[in-house]
A and B are shown apart, each in its own frame.
Chain A
Amino acid sequence: MLALRAVDGFYGRSHILHGVTLDVPAGAITAILGRNGVGKTSLLRALMGLMLLLEGAILLDGRDIAAEPAYRRARAGIAYVPQGREIIPDFSVRENILMGSFARSDGRRVIPDLVGELFPYLVQNLERPGGVLSGGQQQQLAIARALAADPKLLLLDEPTEGIQPSIVEEIETIIVRLNREAGLTILLVEQNVFFARQAAQHFAMMEKGRVVAASAIAELTDALVHRHMAV
């Protein structure tokens, strides 16, 4: 579905991503693992088109999108749930969700049924401002916004970070359902190795802006985790 070929990414003069080559197979969850500051978030931003300078090729279904602006990538079927959620506090829940629908290829502006199934709380509170929701609800809102784009590929950046423990499991269940039931391809940045092993079929380990290991999840050994993730 998605393939990166020797991607280099920069913020101004700092070279963040170094020759990243990675395959994200269709219909699976691929987990991106690594310590803080190794370039996981930058990788997602580069994929979404939010990194200013980029070299190399990003192939989406065989088509190179590396030169395309972010909005075209969104319309090509990539949806992004950023770290920190970045919902718009003074937009209502409805407006926040429908923001995602600008990426729909058919131009319709509707809240998908899937959102109602997964997040009953949101569809019961469409008129509340997004800013008054709890952290977990805002995370749901950010996922709902991504789903409103009717995407093929979902980029999730640490979806359980900063969320109260009781809600974490709920979010994790939803991520797995999105993949298993709705058939979405998911690229998941995750710190929680336990959840990554449970949910993902593939993984990529990052270190200093490079992918140092990428394989099926069964190959994610404790030694590998220890070497690249222990603090």
Chain B
Amino acid sequence: MAEIIFIGLSLSSILLLVALGLAITYGAMGVINMAHGELVMAGAYVTVLSGIWLHLNIIAAIPLAFLVTALIGYLIERLVVRRLYGRLLDTLLATWGVAILIQQAVRLEFGLSFFGRHIAGLGVGLQNVTVPEALTGAITIGGVQVNAFRAFIIGVTVVLTFATWLLMYRSSFGVQVRAIMRNPNMAAACGINVQRVNALTFAYGSGLAGVAGVMMSGFKTVFPDMGTPMVVDGFLVVAAGGVGSLLGTILSAGLLGQINGIVASVTNDILARAMVFAVVILIIVLKPRGLFSYRGR
């Protein structure tokens, strides 16, 4: 039983890693960022490329992927999203376009493949990341044998979630983000530089997606389409947890991951996934605003 719960926990932490960034860009900023999955993918490719070209291992790739995807996110906000605040469906379409651009950029090796040049680690093919010795095999926690890499993912997720909580609820930056989320005009009238804070918030959410990508690359094959199903998972978690609620996102990731793990252990993965969808539909039917959501005006 402890093993099943541990597997559920590790599934939860992967869901949470992907959803954490969305909880910020979708939850706090009201942008449906369809490129979020591609930012996860970009983070995975940073791991692949830094392994090949810089001989960095997966742990060193975490800060690098954070910076790279945060920068991509910053550019997306500056060039596209900033013109679309308050136009939810337009953000969906525009960021979907951005998602396709990012995918193609990886697939076509930034266009170099047209000229017969190739970059090791990019292109249409599948890529693999080797996990360092220390993170392979099993370790024993509390008398239970657990996969070391899964334990590592849980650890990283806990740290990032705590860092996000500190940033959003205990820092002056977080007060500005939450004020903008509730009343952007009044926030501006109070001296908050709404455009700058929005750009940085979006960059932070994107950086989290990049870190999720690094974690994914440790146990999944890396390829240009890998992000597409993840953005679905991410939105499931955020919508079920309640838009704008960090606590809701955490609990919803925990719930869905456990359901997935438990159902998969007694039946199979496909039924488990169907069960997750069923639960999310049930939550949205019964509580259209999700499990937790801050009281609106």
Q: Mark B255-297, 1 if CB is under 8 A from A, else 0.
A: 0000000000000000000000000000000000000001101
Q: How many residues of A contact B (CB 8 A)?
A: 28
- B188 CB–A CB distance under 8 Å: yes
Interface residues of chain A, those whose CB is within 8 Å of chain B, are 48-50, 69-71, 74-75, 79-80, 82, 86, 88-91, 95, 98-104, 109, 131, 145, 149
B residues sitting closer than 8 Å to A (CB atoms) are 172, 175-176, 178-179, 182-183, 185-195, 294-295, 297
Query: Given the interface contacts A88-B179, A89-B297, A109-B172, does A102 sit within 8 Å of B190 by beta carbon?
Result: yes
Q: Are A74 and B188 within 8 A (Cβ)?
A: yes
How distant is the Cα of A149 from the Cα of B297 in the complex, in angstroms? Answer: 24
Q: Is the CB of A145 within 8 A of B188?
A: no
User: Which of B182, B189, B190, B297 gathers most chain A CB within 10 Å?
Assistant: B189
B297 adjacent to A50 (CB under 8 Å): no
Asked if B295 contacts A69 (CB within 8 A), the reply is no
CB nearest to B172 among chain A residues:
A109
How distant is B169 from chain A, measured CB to nearest CB, in Å?
Answer: 10
> Per a CB cutoff under 8 Å, which of B190, B195, B294, B297 touches A74?
B190
Closest to B192 in A: A102
B185 and chain A: residue at smallest CB distance: A50
Instruction: Report the Cα distance A86→B189, complex, angstroms.
Output: 11
21 contacts between A and B (CB under 8 A): A50-B185, A50-B189, A69-B193, A70-B188, A71-B189, A71-B193, A71-B194, A74-B189, A74-B191, A79-B189, A89-B295, A90-B294, A91-B178, A95-B175, A98-B175, A99-B186, A99-B187, A99-B192, A100-B191, A102-B190, A102-B192
Q: How far is the CB of A77 from chain B (nearest CB, A)?
A: 10
Given contacts A50-B188, A71-B188, contact A86 B193 (CB under 8 A): no
- Contact residues in B for A79 (Cβ distance below 8 Å): 189
Report the minimum CB–CB distance from B200 to chain A (whole Å). 14
